Structures are given as C-alpha cells and as structure tokens.
Amino acid sequence: MLSLSPTTLTGRLVRLEPLTEEHVDGLHRAVQDGHIHDLWYTSAPSPALTDVDVATKRDLADRGQMLPFAIRRLADDRLIGVTTFCNPLPAVPAVEIGYTWQAASAHRTGTNTEAKLLMLTHAFESWGCRRVCFRATWFNHQSRRAIERLGAVFEGRIRNDRVLKTGEVTDTAQYSITDGDWPAVRRHLHHLQAR
C-alpha cells in the first residue's frame, strides 16, 4: 500500500534519511558545492533559502503530499543533496520521484543511481506501485540524461506547465518506469552499480 510514511533507505554508497530541520546546515554546504543553485533550471535552493526549502518540503510531508529525503554519502558521512517521493496517486498506485539535486562533487559517482535504485525498489516492492514517474525541466539536459540512463521511458513534452525560480514558464519532459519494466530496470541498475 502506498503510504508516504517516513522511512530510511540504506545502500552501499548512500543513506536516504527522512528530511528534518537538522539537515539544514549540511544541505546549506552541499548546495554550494559547484554552485548548482545558480543553474536556472534546477530545483536546488539558493544557500540563503535552504531552511525555507526544507520547511516547505516538511510541510508537504506533514500533509501526505511528499516524502522528502536528505541524501547522506556513507563514505564521509556528508550530506550531498535531496530527493523526494511526491505527487502520490494511491488509487493506481503510482508516485513521482523528483525535486532531486546533488552536490556537484557527487555527480557521476554512483550516488544518484543508488539513490534511485533504493527508491524504485521501495516503490515497486514495498508499496506495489504500478508506475513511477520522473519529470525534469525541458532544458535540464543533465537530469534528462540521468533519468534516461536509469531506463525510464520518455512519455512526452508537457508544454508550459512549469514556473521556474526565475519566474519563467517552461516545458517539462516526462518519463516513467512501470511495474512491467521494473525487473529489467532493476537488473540494469545493479549492472550500472557493479561497473
């Protein structure tokens, strides 16, 4: 059953911890790593708004609309970013994985792949989801490549449905993995981790 109750997901590289106010200082440092908050098309908050971002996500969690995680790299016990389960559809059941950002030093280190494997495993095998959705700003080519690398299927371009932090309206690229896709995707992600 799909329930966005706080849970901790642990792998070899990362631990996904339910997001709390105690994570603010570490995430404040992480978002400055590579200045990813300066990229106009990302959901990464500015360092000055890290506390507001965490509070907003916690409020959505309290209302059952999101399950936000702080991503902790196990090798050095540092916080490296955020990811969430969001937009739950319990009747299907389905959920979206989104609002993900990681410090620049974590890119291409396997931490994102493992985080997504942990979340997908939880969604399909604990909650029994039929579908997991991913959405990225149309111009966020790095995120789109990362989603495609997971094995998600591109479903289309949704026009004028997203307001960026700059105030501009733009499009969304939408992807999904279904329960029918999951066995092959799981094998693919384990293969990526083994490389």
Which tens digits make up the pLDDT trace of 43-53? Answer: 788 899 999 99
Positions of the chain with pLDDT lower than 70, given as ranges: 40
The type of residue at 73 is R
pLDDT at position 10 is 98
Measured distance CA(46)–CA(28) in Å, rounded: 8
pLDDT in the model for residue 37: 78
Q: What is the pLDDT of residues 144-154, one digit of tens each?
A: 999 999 999 99
Looking at residue 40, its pLDDT comes to: 66
pLDDT of the residue at 163: 87
pLDDT in the model for residue 166:
82
Max distance between CA atoms of the chain, in angstroms, equals 42
The reported pLDDT for the residue numbered 53 is 95
User: What single-letter DSSP state applies at residue 27?
Assistant: H
What pLDDT is attached to residue 172? 95
Evaluate if pTM is beyond 0.85: yes
User: What is residue 55's predicted lDDT score, i.e. its pLDDT?
Assistant: 97
Pairing of strands 131-137, 94-102: parallel
What was the pLDDT predicted at 62?
96
φ/ψ (deg, to 5) at 26: -65, -35
Pairing of strands 78-89, 66-73: antiparallel
Helix, strand, coil percent content, the chain, rounded in steps of 5 = 35, 35, 30
CA distances from 45 to 49, 77, 107, 114, 164 (A): 6, 22, 17, 23, 12
Burial class (CB within 10 angstroms; exposed 0-12, middle 13-18, buried 19+) of 170: middle
